[in-house]
Amino acid sequence: MRPRILAVANQKGGVGKTTTTISLAATLAAYERPTLIVDIDPQSNSTSGLGVTVGSEQATTYQLLTGEATAVAAVVPTEFPHLAMIPATPDLAGAEIELVGMVGREFRLRDALQPLEGFRFVLVDCPPSLGLLTLNALAAADALLIPIQCEYFALEGVSELMRTVDEVRRFLNPGLAIDGVLLTMYDERTNLARQVAQEVRSVFGDLVFETVVPRNVRLAEAPSFGQPIQAYDLRSRGAEAYLLLGREYLERMEVA
C-alpha cells in the first residue's frame, strides 16, 4: 500500500508545526502504523527533537532534493517502534537556492518519495515560509494538516497559505486535500483562546479537529530531551491531547 503523505504546514512560525509532526507521528506509530517523518525545515528541529544525530555519511533531505541520495538510503530508524525519519541539517537552507535552477524543481521531493514502501503515513515537517521547500512538500503530499495557535493574529498568514494551496492544486497537485486544522497552544482560562477557536471553526468548519492541544510546559520541554511527548511524559495533558488527535485522525482516514 502506498503511504499517505501529509504535509504539516503554516507559514507563520511558532504555531506548533514540529511539535505536531513529532507528536502525531509518534502516536500513529504507537497505534502500530509504520510512520516516517521527513524533515525539510533547515532548522532541523524534528531531527533533533527525536534525538537523531546526523553523521557525516548519513544522507539527509538535502541530498534527497539534490538527487545525491535516494529516500530509501536516507531513512534512519528511531529508538521508537514503527517510527523512522529522513533527517535534515542546516545545509538544507542551501538547497532552496540550488533548486531554482533545476528542472522540475517543485517535484524533487515527490519524485524522491515515490519508491518508498513499508510506511502507512509520511509526515513532512515544513519550514515557516512558502518557499520552494514548502512547495515541494505540497506538490508531494496527498493532504495538508494546518496547525493554528489560539493567539492573537492566529489566522494571519493562513489566507496566504490557502491561496498557495489553490495555486498548487491548479498547477502542481490537483489532488491536494486538507486532512485537518489543529488548534494548538489553547489556554482554556482566556477569553481570547475561546474566541480564536470559535473564529477558526467558523472559517474551516468540519475540517477543524475536535481535539485541541493545550498550552503545556511538558510539550515544550520534550524536544530538548530528544523525545516525543509520549516518551517524555505520557501522563501530561500534551501527551493525552496528541493521543486523542491520533485516534481522531485515524478515524477520519477510516484505518483505525
Q: What domains can be seen in the chain, in order of their start residue?
A: 4-253 (3.40.50.300)
Residue type present at position 54: V
Work out the pLDDT band at 144, boundaries 50, 70, 90: very high
CA-derived radius of gyration, the chain:
17
Q: At residue 256, does pLDDT exceed 70?
A: no
Does 255 score more than 70 pLDDT? no
Q: What is the pLDDT of residues 198-227, one digit of tens each?
A: 999 999 999 999 999 999 999 989 999 999
**Is 147 in a helix, a strand, or coil?**
strand
Cα distance between residue 138 and residue 248, in whole Å: 23
Question: What is the rounded average pLDDT of the residues 143-170?
Answer: 90
Long-range contacts of 109-113 (CB under 8 A, 24+ apart): 109/38, 109/40, 109/61, 109/64, 109/65, 109/136, 109/137, 109/139, 109/140, 110/136, 110/139, 110/140, 110/173, 112/64, 112/65, 112/67, 112/70, 112/71, 113/5, 113/38, 113/71, 113/140
DSSP reduced 3-state for 253: helix
Give the pTM. Answer: 0.95
For residue 14, name the pLDDT band (cuts at 50, 70, 90): confident
Q: How far is the C-alpha of 248 from the C-alpha of 256, rounded, in Å?
A: 9
Q: Which ranges of 100-205 would DSSP assign to H, the alpha helix?
A: 108-113, 132-140, 158-171, 191-204
Is residue 157 over pLDDT 80? no
Q: How confident is the model at residue 45 (pLDDT cuts 50, 70, 90)?
A: very high
- Kindly tell me if the per-residue pLDDT of 117 is higher than 50: yes
| 208-214 β-sheet, strand order | 76-77, 83-86, 35-39, 121-125, 4-8, 143-149, 177-186, 208-214
Return the percent helix, strand and coil in the chain, to nearest 5: 45, 20, 35
Share of the chain above pLDDT 90, in %: 79
Secondary structure of 230-246 in HEC code, one letter for each residue: HHHCCCCHHHHHHHHHH
Question: What's the one-letter identity of residue 142?
Answer: D
List all residues 6 or more positions away from 243 whose beta carbon is below 8 Å from its beta carbon. Answer: 27, 30, 230
